[in-house]
């Protein structure tokens, strides 16, 4: 089973989703990419994922172009921007899904508030992708 998770920058939400989905089932082939990949991971995302027990520090931020010729069981977008760019995958994807999340890197305020936004979004991503995993991959939905 091959799953590609798409976002715009591939530095935060798609990376968290990638880390969680891989942690649920190590037999899955999970990749993440961005329509405008930043080339680096969001350090706050790495930090809050580590606090949740999932290390994504070894991930790379890759352009979606790297995966255009591959076949995917699922392509999942996690932000509005990438959702508009997905049709390029139509011929090589069995299932397209959109599971959207706020971008915690847009949070403005105190360091405590910003930290709380990363944690909130991280927890929403974990819940959303665990539900996807149970329903779509394990067939328990």
Q: Which residues are catalytic, by number?
A: 7, 79, 86
| Torsion 100-69-46-22 (CA) sign | positive
β-bridge pairing 72-77 and 93-98:
parallel
Tell me the C-alpha distance between 99 and 83, whole Å. 10
Q: Could you please report the per-residue DSSP string of 16-57?
A: HHHHHHHHH-TTSEEEEEETT--SS--HHHHHHHHHTT---T
């Amino acid at each position: 089973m091959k799953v590609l998770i798409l976002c715009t920058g591939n530095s935060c939400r798609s990376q968290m989703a990638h880390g969680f989905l891989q942690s649920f089932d190590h037999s899955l082939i999970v990749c993440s990419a961005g329509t405008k990949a930043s080339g680096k991971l969001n350090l706050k995302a790495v930090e809050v994922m580590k606090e949740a027990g999932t290390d994504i520090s070894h991930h790379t931020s890759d352009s979606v172009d790297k995966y255009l010729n591959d076949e995917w069981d699922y392509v999942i977008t996690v932000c509005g921007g990438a959702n508009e760019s997905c049709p390029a995958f139509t011929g090589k994807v069995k299932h397209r899904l959109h599971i959207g999340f706020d971008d915690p890197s847009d949070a403005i305020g105190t360091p405590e508030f910003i930290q709380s936004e990363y944690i909130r979004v991280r927890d929403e991503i974990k819940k959303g992708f665990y539900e996807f995993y149970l329903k779509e991959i394990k067939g328990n939905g």
